[in-house]
A and B are shown apart, each in its own frame.
Chain A
Amino acid sequence: MKRIASYALRVILYIILVAPLLLFIAYAFSTRWFFPQPFPTEWTLTTFQRAMDDARTLSSMAQGIWIAILVSLLSLILALPAARVLGLRKFRGRQLAWLLLFLPTVIPPLAIGMGLNILFLRIGLAGTIAGVVLAHIIPTLPYTIFTLSSAFARFDENYEFQALALGASPWHIFFKVTLRMLAPSLIVATLFAFLISWSQYLLTLLIGGGQVITLPILLFSAASGGNPSTIAVLSLLFIAPPVLVIAATARQLNQHGNQIRELY
């Protein structure tokens, strides 16, 4: 009985998660789907083709991916030292440091965006990719720091001491020992940063000021236009990179997870 209930619950959850996707697919690849018909009658690629033919679609995707990659790299570089100290050391003001680093998750992005907009206009970063990248780091940093600091909390510095005593240089230790040991968490942190940046609408709009067009911007304007087929195509394109990235790393994540379980 209990098993049936849990099975049913799982099925319901899957339906809730998958239903909107199915609806998107139905809209994206059909024409003339009107009210009384329960399913689309004519399937076609034309809407999809039309969206792909629009130069803005691909360029906005490319731009979004580039921005997301830059944001992930930069926030990793910024997060590593902070995460290391927060994860490995106990010091006065540690709580305050946590609070400051986590503020972006509680402060409304609109407030940050407005302030940044004024600042970036003054220093000439508004409407540039660099400005958007910098703005995206604000919401991504707390997540990368949090992921990496919990990895550092489980990390034992004696591995580094061993490598040092065996003659390795600090750079060698950092790249060949520390980063290797943290690899699973690094992948997770990068994923977080990538996804947050990829799906960022508000900050891109405020800082990009219509100059930097990413897929969410395009999607929002299409959504206000009201053609369900276009919305559906863009939504599917919007979902595709995260799904692909997660699918590509799932195996490695699982492997690393097993490795860690073996270790402890």
Chain B
Amino acid sequence: MTTVNIISLNKMYPNQPAPVLKDFSLSVMDGEMVALLGPSGMGKSTLLKLITGIERPDSGDIQFDGSSILGIEPNKRGAVLMFQKSYLFPFLNVEDNISFGLRVQGASSQTIRAEVKRMLDLISLPGIEKRKVGQLSGGEGQRVALARALVTNPKLLLLDEPLSNLDTEVRMNLQEVIRVIQRELGVTTIFVTHDLGEAMAMSDRMALLLNGEIVALDKPENLFHRPRSLAAARFMGVSTFLNGDKLTVKKEASAGASEKTFAIRPEHIRIQIEACKNSMQGVVSDCVFRGEYVEYQVAVGEMSVRARMPMPAPMFPHGEQVYVKFPSEHLFEVEN
């Protein structure tokens, strides 16, 4: 049961112009799962390396329960890793893989057998102790890797895109498995991903990472509905931003230059034939049927507006004159 504090971490690699991590701070509460979301190469994996001790930060501190772990050897920190690939040792069977950490600690063979059985029950793969690693499917491999990581009661579980190599169905299933086990054991977890849906489905809080800095940190639902900054909004799939002052926006959206910027989620924008309040005229440039919804691209003056309307929704031919409505109750202000 561990609270993790990451304080003003800085990390720069010798041959790179910009630092990978810039004054990076993050607190993870005991038993909490925090997702780090960001494009690849944004310092996410570096952070995990610093926490496990494979690399050292240039400055800053990492604390478990208030005391620094930077002076502790990597193999004594109690931070375990789960990667995209399972990295199960191919020369050991499932049981010996799961018990690797226990054996290193010198656990008795009785404890080992009992613990391996408990973990296998937990990951819903009972009775596969003697199976060879090569005989496991991708999803099974990741479950066993999870069991191997958690069997030693680690202080912190680090997940580095553990599901991105799996088929959609297996991935959905494993998201749930990991989430349930993480809650049940109450292990503090940092989860690195570039998949927005996965981050929202699994985490208690979500940190959006850009250029080595956290641009937003909040509960997934808050970030989704009301991202505070432009960068955060972009992350969360918002692509329509309008400038204007609040009163005129409320009455009539305009793309004119002004101090304030408002954003709206694509699923809140309405495309219609008739003009009405808060609407602007545009020309349909694309209209895609996606099954559960229709996606539109509409050119409004210089701006290209992306909108989504749930089925049933009208299909418009390319070049059709339409009105794009921005319902005022869904417009929210973002910092530039």
User: Complex: how many Å from CA A140 to CA B79?
Assistant: 42
Q: Are B54 and A161 in contact (CB under 8 A)?
A: yes
Interface size on A, residues (CB 8 A): 21
Stretch at the interface among B32-40, B80-88, B166-174, B277-285: B80-88
Which of A175-215 touch B at CB < 8 Å?
177, 180-181, 183
Contact B79 A165 (CB under 8 A): yes
Is A95 part of the contact surface with B, judged by Cβ < 8 Å? no
Q: Does A163 make an interface contact (CB < 8 A)?
A: yes
Q: A161-B54, A177-B89 are in contact. Are A167 and B105 (CB under 8 A)?
A: yes
CA distance A263 to B89 in the complex (A): 10
Is A166 touching B80 in the complex (CB atoms < 8 A)? yes
Give CA–CA (A187, B89) in the complex, Å. Answer: 19
Which residues, 41 to 95 on B, are CB-close (under 8 Å) to A?
Answer: 52-54, 74-81, 83, 85, 87, 89-91
Asked if A158 is at the interface (CB within 8 A of a chain B CB), the reply is yes
Chain B: residues with Cβ within 8 Å of the partner, total of 25
Q: Which residue of A lies closest to B132 (CB)?
A: A262
Contact of A262 among B83, B85, B134, B152 (CB under 8 A): B134
Which of A164, A166, A180, A183 has a CB less than 8 Å from the CB of B148? Answer: A166
| B13 smallest CB distance to A (angstroms) | 13
What is the interface of chain A mostly: helix, strand, loop, or mixed? helix
B-chain residues with CB within 8 Å of residue A168 when the two chains form the complex: 75, 100, 104
B132 to chain A, nearest CB (A): 8
Residues in A neighbouring B79, C-beta threshold 8 A: 165
Q: With A166-B104, A168-B75, A169-B75 in contact, do A158 and B87 touch (Cβ < 8 Å)?
A: yes
CB pair B105 A165 closer than 8 Å: no
A34 to chain B, nearest CB (A): 58
Task: Report the bound CA distance from A172 to B104 in whole Å.
Answer: 8
Contact of A165 among B74, B85, B89 (CB under 8 A): B74
Chain A's nearest CB lies how many Å from the CB of B91?
A: 5
A165 touches B87 (CB 8 A): no
Complex contact B90–A162 (CB within 8 A): no
Nearest CB of A to B119, in Å: 13
* A170 to B104 alpha-carbon distance, docked (Å): 12
In the bound complex, residues from chain A placing their C-beta under 8 Å from that of B74 are 164-165
List chain B residues, Cβ under 8 A from A165.
52, 74-75, 77, 79-81, 149
Interface members, chain A 83-108 (any B CB < 8 Å)? none
- CB <8 Å contact, A263 and B101: no
Contact with B along A134-168 (1 / 0, CB 8 A): 00000000000000000000001011011111111
The interface residues of chain A lying within 8 Å CB-to-CB of B91 are 180-181, 183, 259
CA distance A169 to B101 in the complex (A): 11
Give every chain B residue within 8 A of A259 (Cβ-Cβ).
90-91, 134
Contact between B75 and A167 (Cβ–Cβ < 8 Å)?
yes
Which of B53, B83, B90, B100 contacts A166, CB < 8 Å? B100
Q: Which residues of B contact A180 (CB under 8 A)?
A: 89, 91
CA distance A168 to B73 in the complex (A): 11
Question: Chain A residues near B77 (CB, 8 Å)?
Answer: 165
Interface mask (B191-206 → A, CB under 8 Å = 1, otherwise 0): 0000000000000000
Q: Interface of A with B (CB < 8 Å)?
A: 156, 158-159, 161-170, 172, 177, 180-181, 183, 259, 262-263
Q: Beyond the given A165-B77, A166-B75, please list 19 additional residue pairs across the A-B interface where CB-CB is below 8 A.
A: A158-B83, A158-B87, A159-B87, A159-B89, A161-B81, A164-B53, A164-B74, A164-B75, A165-B80, A166-B80, A167-B76, A168-B100, A168-B104, A169-B104, A170-B75, A183-B91, A259-B91, A262-B134, A263-B90
Write 8 A-B pairs (CB below 8 A) sorted by A numbering.
A161-B52, A162-B87, A164-B53, A164-B74, A165-B77, A165-B149, A166-B148, A167-B76
> 9 nearest interchain CB pairs?
A166-B101, A262-B134, A167-B104, A165-B81, A162-B87, A168-B104, A165-B80, A180-B91, A167-B75
Residues of B within 8 A of A (CB): 52-54, 74-81, 83, 85, 87, 89-91, 100-101, 104-105, 134, 148-149, 152
